[in-house]
Structure 1
Amino acid sequence: AGNDGAEVWSASDTSIRDEAGATKGREPSSVNFLSWWDADPVRELLDGTHIDKYGTSSDTRLLTGSGVHSNNSTKATPSLSGDILGDWREEVIWPTSDNTALRIYSTPYETTTRITTLLHDTMYRTGLAWQNTAYNQPPHPSYFLGNGMPTAPRPTVYTP
């Protein structure tokens, strides 16, 4: 959260790196998914059935799903993650342990950040759709959403 610009990490490196490859900090605890979960505009780490806040020395557990499981073995993905309820933070959907139901987890944190629902952004909406039709990855909006962001664009909503 303290670094400007894009950051990347992988299971084969012990550092988080910027777009030029320079080390920017320690490797996060997971490499699978991200989620805008708490009150700030920085994404949290979503892996298996838990969400962690990345920190400079360690991560802080924000959520552990109860009675649910992730999908796809080592990829450990949820059934769906995204802003489906419409306040810009993302919900996570996991199947129950007995596979008889889906459970939706929504953030309990209040926020003062005001952004139009992410589903109004065409790129984000497309990303939400690809989670269940292609390689399951978290959706991304067409604009920068993070610390120091300018006012988020207001979408032009129309019907065909």
Structure 2
Amino acid sequence: MELLNDGKIEKWNPAAPTATGSVPRLVSTWNYGSVNASGGPNPTFHGDILGDWREEVVYTNASYNELIIFTTNQPSSTRLYALAHNPAYRNAMTLKGYVQSHHVDYFLGAGMATPPRPNITYAP
């Protein structure tokens, strides 16, 4: 599990000693020119927008004319619908804004059952 803390993407390690108070850093988003439109440490958006169940973090650049998207480069054999197709996840994105964690209404993790197919229809 990765954590997003004040513009830092960090790797959670449950086996690491808690006394050190540190979490290994993977990325400092500001090193890639990312800023937040509100001037704070939070991204413009975070959530599953690429549709592979893993969440992306979206910032803008200082000129506000480019999006900077942080995603994983790790392959996965897990294939799921985009999390935004899950009603609970989508509602959480709306209710809590784009700076809080979003959760699906099923267990998502090792040993999980196949999640229910989302009820998606296309408008004519």
Fold shared per TM-score above 0.5: yes
Paired position in structure 2 for 1:69: 35
Report whether the alignment pairs 1:158 with 2:121: yes
Q: Which of the residues 118, 134, 141 maps onto 2:104? A: 141
Contact 1:48–1:69 at 8 Å: present in 2 too?
no
Distance in 2, matches of 1:85 and 1:150, equals 22
| TM-score, normalization by structure 1 | 0.60
Gaps of 5+ in 1: 1-42
Gaps of 5+ in 2: 17-21
Deviation at residue 64 of structure 1 after TM alignment: 2.8
Distance in 2, matches of 1:53 and 1:151, equals 26
Paired position in structure 1 for 2:11: 53
Letter matched to residue 8 of structure 2: H
Aligned length: 113
**Which one has a larger percent helix, Structure 1 or Structure 2?**
2
Once the two structures are superposed, residues 69-100 of structure 1 have per-residue CA deviations (whole angstroms, 9 ceiling, x without a partner) of: 24564xx3111001111111111101213434
Call closer, same or farther: CA 1:60–1:112 in 2, change over 3 Å.
farther
Q: Which of the residues 43, 46, 63 maps onto 1:78? A: 43
Deviation at residue 102 of structure 1 after TM alignment: 2.4
**Pairwise CA RMSD of aligned residues?**
2.2
Letter matched to residue 96 of structure 1: N
Distance in 2, matches of 1:124 and 1:72, equals 26
Call closer, same or farther: CA 1:100–1:156 in 2, change over 3 Å.
closer
Distance in 2, matches of 1:146 and 1:68, equals 30
| TM-score, normalization by structure 2 | 0.74
Distance in 1, matches of 2:23 and 2:112, equals 23
Poorly superposed stretches of 4+, deviation over 4 Å: none
Deviation at residue 45 of structure 1 after TM alignment: 0.5
Contact 1:51–1:64 at 8 Å: present in 2 too?
yes
Paired position in structure 1 for 2:72: 107
Once the two structures are superposed, residues 120-141 of structure 1 have per-residue CA deviations (whole angstroms, 9 ceiling, x without a partner) of: 1111112223425xxx312211
Deviation at residue 52 of structure 1 after TM alignment: 1.2
